[in-house]
Amino acid sequence: MASASASSSSSALSRLSSISRHFNPSHPNKDGVALIKISPEVSEALSIGRAVVALESTIISHGMPYPKNLETAKEVEAIVRENGAVPATIAILDGTPCIGLTIEELERLARLGPRAQKTARRDIAHVVATRGNGATTVSATMIFAHMVGIPLFVTGGIGGVHQHGEHTMDISSDLTELGRTPVAVISAGVKSILDIPRTLEYLETQGVCVAAYKTNEFPAFFTEASGCKVPCRVDTPDDCARLIDANLKLELGTGMLIAVPIPKEHSASGNLIESAIQTALREARDKNITGNAATPFLLARVNELTGGASLASNIALVKNNALVGSKIAVALSQIRECCRKGGLE
């Protein structure tokens, strides 16, 4: 009984500490300088245990042109709110990591476009130290989400092992981040410009649980299927929430990837897009475009070749991921609330 009482007391103290931390909208270092800024809306949601969904900002600055990027960012945040969660778009502005952006900050980032540095884990310290503006990728968004206690992050697609990655060692830091940061990532899988089988092998090596939503096959971003089976299938938001909750409670220390296929009504153009991808890959090889330059070139070229169909599909799947991710976040917050009440009884 004493042990149970101590555990309950510890849980209550932890809760009070969390509430105190989140009502302060910034995280200061020992010198009193704010290192991270949390918006009042996100701060309040975290303090009372509401569902919060982290969103990346690279898709805003590097994913599409202005003003389409701003329009999409607003629509994705609206979808999150409509489904009972609080959106927390993450970016670095003037050297300060921001968790949750105002409309004005979203517009600023959208207008900056590629002038905002594409920021992965390796770039964070540099962007902060130089007081720069950074659009966070999957890896950087996961880091900041974990820092403030957001367990779930929605994106379009993650990075992976690039074609011929066994020779070039061109492997996205998204994969290693999934192996070291306990945040669940909701995405439409990976694009077929990448080596999907090797990407899944690499995730297995990193100890990352990969689940597919309502399917046994890993989706390939623009298309519902890649030909690669997944080790885990989940069919409802509750299934996903229980999986995430178990991963966190067991303190496995790894992230989790939940792959959601593109909606059927938008997958019809998949064959056209796949054909364009193969053409773009050949052109990239002929022009010796590699490394960080490869993905932006390929996506822009595919959009040209498909007459904008790939951008429309991209936006559709991001919105769908936001819908599914929000429902998962709400289910997870309900599980946590039940556990908390049970621990206090």
pLDDT above 80 for 329: yes
pLDDT band (50, 70, 90) for residue 74: very high
Is the pLDDT reported for residue 26 higher than 80? no
Q: For residues 218 and 200, is the Cβ–Cβ distance under 8 A?
A: yes
How many whole angstroms separate alpha carbon 262 and alpha carbon 256?
19
Structure confidence at residue 29 (pLDDT): 55
Name the DSSP class of 153.
Answer: E
Give the per-residue pLDDT at 265.
83
- Backbone dihedral region of 189: left (phi > 0), alpha (psi from -120 to 50 degrees) or beta? left
**Radius of gyration over every alpha carbon of the chain, rounded to an integer in angstroms:** 20
Calpha distance 229→218 (Å, rounded): 6
Q: Is the dihedral of CA 87, 298, 197, 315 positive or negative?
A: positive
CA distance 345 to 342: 5
Q: 107-145: string of b/e by CB count within 10 Å (b at 16+)?
A: bbbbebbeebbbbbbebbeebbeeebbbbbbbbbbbbbb
Least confident of 3-12, 48-57, 197-206: 3-12
Residue 295 to residue 277: CA distance in whole angstroms: 11
- Predicted confidence band of residue 294 (pLDDT cuts 50, 70, 90): confident
Average pLDDT, the chain: 88
Active site residues: 56, 191
Band (310; pLDDT cuts 50, 70, 90): confident
Whole-angstrom distance, CA of residue 44 vs CA of residue 49: 9
What is the percent of the chain where pLDDT is above 90?
67
Tell me: the pLDDT tens digits for 222-278? 888 899 999 999 999 999 999 999 999 999 999 999 999 999 888 767 778 878 888
**Total-model pTM:** 0.87
**Cα–Cα distance for residue pair 185/153, rounded to 1 Å:** 5
- Other beta carbons less than 10 A from residue 44's beta carbon: 15
What CA–CA distance (Å, rounded) separates 65 from 46?
A: 32
Count of CB atoms situated within 10 Å of the CB of 216: 11
- Residues 131 and 104: their CA atoms lie apart, in Å, by 19
- Check pLDDT > 90 for residue 64: no
Which H or E run includes 126? helix 124-129
